[in-house]
Structure 1
Amino acid sequence: MWLIFGIGAIVFALLNVTTAIKNKNAERYRFLSLSLTALTVCAFYFDGASRVIKEDWSGLMDIMPTMSKALWVLVILSIAVNSVSIFKKKRLNEN
């Protein structure tokens, strides 16, 4: 489930940037992208917690070390990409 949320977050982040470049309103895409990013983190945590409950230690050892680092990178990237439309809008208002 977290993979679906993550892909959705990336798609809406790209829509956010392309809409901001065209000087259109990108707040909806930014909201959807950041919301899906948060849901991705929650779903990933839920996946790990359910593996602990089932005592699937080999599954945890396979997935958690690599995916937790990737999740950190992708969340930071999502925040950075989604901030493009905010700074672009701010720059347009100053001119």
Structure 2
Amino acid sequence: MGMMLGALGLVLGIVGVILTFQNKNSRWLSYASLSLTALAICAEYSAVVKWIEEEDLAALMDVTPTMSSMLWILTFATIGINGLSFWKNLKLKVE
């Protein structure tokens, strides 16, 4: 669930950048993108809590290292993509 939310957030961020470079307002897409990324992190954290409560150490050892790396990559990618929209909007206001 968390990775689906994160992937959707990443897609919305990319669409937002495309619309920004076409000089269209896409602030709501940036908001939705960052919100979905935050929800993805919360969903994955909830999965880890569930595994701890069930004492499922195999799931923790198998999934958590990869999941942690993917969440870091997803978060930095989403911040970077939304940063492009922000940078383009600032550039438009200056000109």
Q: Is the TM-score greater than 0.5?
A: yes
Q: Distance in 2 between matches of 1:85 and 1:3?
A: 23
Task: Kindly report the root-mean-square deviation, in angstroms, between the aligned alpha carbons of the 2 structures.
Answer: 0.8
- 1:1-95 aligned at under 5 Å gives the runs 1-95=1-95
For each residue in 1:35-54, what CA deviation from the matched residue of structure 2 results, as whole angstroms up to 9, or x when unmatched? Answer: 00000000000000000001
Runs of 4+ in 1 over 3 A off after TM superposition: none
Q: Distance in 2 between matches of 1:13 and 1:85?
A: 9
- Residue identity over aligned pairs, in percent, reads 36
Given residue 47 of structure 2, which amino acid in structure 1 is its aligned partner? D
Cα deviation for residue 71 of structure 1 reads 0.7
User: How many residues end up aligned between the 2 structures?
Assistant: 95
- Aligned residues of 2:10 and 2:77 also touching (Cα < 8 A): no
Cα deviation for residue 32 of structure 1 reads 0.4
Given residue 5 of structure 2, which amino acid in structure 1 is its aligned partner? F
Question: SS where residue 23 of structure 2 aligns?
Answer: coil
Given residue 88 of structure 1, which amino acid in structure 2 is its aligned partner? K
Question: SS where residue 24 of structure 1 aligns?
Answer: coil
Structure-2-length-normalised TM-score: 0.96
- Aligned residues of 2:16 and 2:85 also touching (Cα < 8 A): yes
Q: Which runs of 5+ in 1 are unaligned?
A: none
Structure-1-length-normalised TM-score: 0.96
Q: Distance in 1 between matches of 2:29 and 2:84?
A: 12
